[in-house]
């Protein structure tokens, strides 16, 4: 009797174990796919934030009368002086280091905020994205290849509907890399090595499996892991488990929608549960989008701050009319109010106050 029952019992046990392991695998697969979706939503939000911040600044700079005048008069020295003064003032007051360059209408370097070495150099051969402006006068912000892979935000400088040139803010992925790093996620921006010939400033960058590492502050500890994975398999499955790590994949595209590389995330297995979807919505915010939750609070507070911000603009505009005997009190009140503003708000105020004086090109 036992001999007859035992095979059937073993078969049932095998089937049950198979079903259990299949369910467990399916749940785990679903978990990691949910985590990948969260990572991609967060990445998209961070990239959009970088683009919007750069766009606001580039539009403001494109209206700067001193820069417009420098372009119109083809005065490269004055353009460099104005631009470097602006970015230095922003750095000193906000601790934000931005890289801005001005291009002529035929895509030659007119001035750059960080040096004056490459003035006059044509960029059209390096920058296929600039072809967009042959038929458009609207701003553009996108991830583009060139001598460096970067987030390029380009705004035409117009006068009487004529394009005098372009203001361009060049952003890298340092802030985004640090954002993910602070969450326990290692983030890698990998450019397809087909673009390496034109990317002359990336020739010495780390290479792996047909890609060039483009972000600068990545975690070097995972380079060996990434060099040994099959990117074809990763592209197909979008998630790979490698020893005690999960590697997540997303295609990186330029402004035309062309694939130009990969966004890769590496997450230690021990952190996996931290990012899993929970039943309650609050846990979702705690696990992944603490910064988004902070933004929601900030947006509500912003409604109350808008009037105060308008008052601050008026207060700044009064500085030329304050008598000397009242200047000390004015400065004290001004410093107290400025102390409560964010870096972005301070930058906006700086750019609005026409901080460049055409008389001597210096920021006051």
CA-to-CA distance for 125 and 363, rounded, in angstroms? 35
DSSP track, 173-238 = SHHHHHHHHTTTEEEEEEEEGGGTTT-GGGTTS-EETTEEE--SS--GGGHHHHHTS-HHHHHHHS
DSSP, collapsed to helix, strand or coil, labels residue 341 as coil
Q: What percentage of the chain has pLDDT greater than the value 90?
A: 46
pLDDT digits (tens, 9 = 90+) for 240-260: 998 889 999 999 999 999 999
pLDDT above 80 for 350: no
95: left (phi over 0), alpha (psi -120 to 50) or beta: left
DSSP 118: S
Give this prediction's pTM: 0.69
Cα–Cα distances (Å) from 216 to 4, 76, 266, in that order, read: 67, 30, 16
pLDDT digits (tens, 9 = 90+) for 77-128: 999 999 999 999 988 888 888 999 999 999 999 999 988 888 889 988 888 8
pLDDT above 60 for 322: no
Q: Phi and psi for 127 in degrees, rounded to 5?
A: -125, 85
Beta bridge partners of 152: 142, 170
What pLDDT does residue 243 have?
A: 86
pLDDT digits (tens, 9 = 90+) for 14-71: 555 544 444 444 444 456 788 888 888 889 989 999 999 999 999 999 999 999 999 9
Average of per-residue pLDDT across 227-232 = 92
């Amino acid at each position: 009797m036992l001999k007859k029952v035992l095979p059937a019992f073993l078969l049932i046990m095998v089937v049950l174990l198979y079903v259990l392991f299949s369910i467990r695998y399916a749940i785990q697969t679903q978990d990691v796919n949910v985590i990948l979706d969260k990572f991609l939503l967060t990445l998209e939000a961070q990239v959009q934030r970088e683009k919007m911040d750069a766009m606001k600044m580039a539009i403001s700079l494109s209206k700067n009368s001193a820069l417009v005048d420098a372009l119109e008069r083809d005065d490269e020295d004055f353009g460099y002086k104005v631009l470097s003064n602006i970015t230095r003032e922003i750095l000193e007051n906000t601790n934000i280091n931005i890289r801005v360059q001005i291009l002529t209408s035929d895509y030659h370097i007119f001035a750059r905020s960080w040096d004056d070495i490459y003035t006059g150099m044509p960029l059209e051969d390096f920058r296929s994205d600039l072809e967009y402006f042959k038929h458009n006068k609207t701003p553009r912000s996108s991830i583009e290849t060139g001598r460096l892979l970067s987030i390029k935000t380009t705004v035409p400088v117009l006068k009487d509907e004529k394009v005098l040139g372009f203001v361009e803010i060049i952003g890298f992925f340092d802030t985004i890399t640090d954002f993910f790093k602070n969450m326990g996620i290692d983030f890698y921006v990998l450019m397809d090595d087909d673009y390496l010939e034109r990317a002359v400033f990336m020739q010495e960058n780390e290479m792996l499996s047909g890609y060039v590492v483009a972000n600068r502050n990545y975690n070097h500890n995972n380079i060996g892991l990434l060099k040994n994975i099959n990117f074809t398999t990763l592209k197909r499955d979008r998630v790979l488990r490698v020893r005690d790590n999960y590697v997540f994949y997303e295609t990186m595209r330029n402004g035309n929608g062309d694939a130009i590389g990969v966004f890769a995330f590496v997450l230690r297995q021990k952190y996996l549960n931290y990012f899993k979807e929970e039943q309650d919505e609050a846990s979702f915010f705690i696990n992944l989008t603490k910064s988004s939750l902070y933004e929601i609070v900030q947006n509500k507070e912003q409604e109350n701050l808008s009037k105060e911000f308008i008052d601050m603009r008026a207060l700044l505009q009064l500085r030329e009319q304050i008598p000397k005997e009242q200047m000390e009190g004015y400065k004290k009140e001004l410093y107290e109010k400025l102390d409560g503003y964010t870096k972005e708000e301070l930058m906006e105020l700086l750019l609005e106050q026409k901080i460049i004086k055409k008389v001597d090109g210096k920021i006051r």
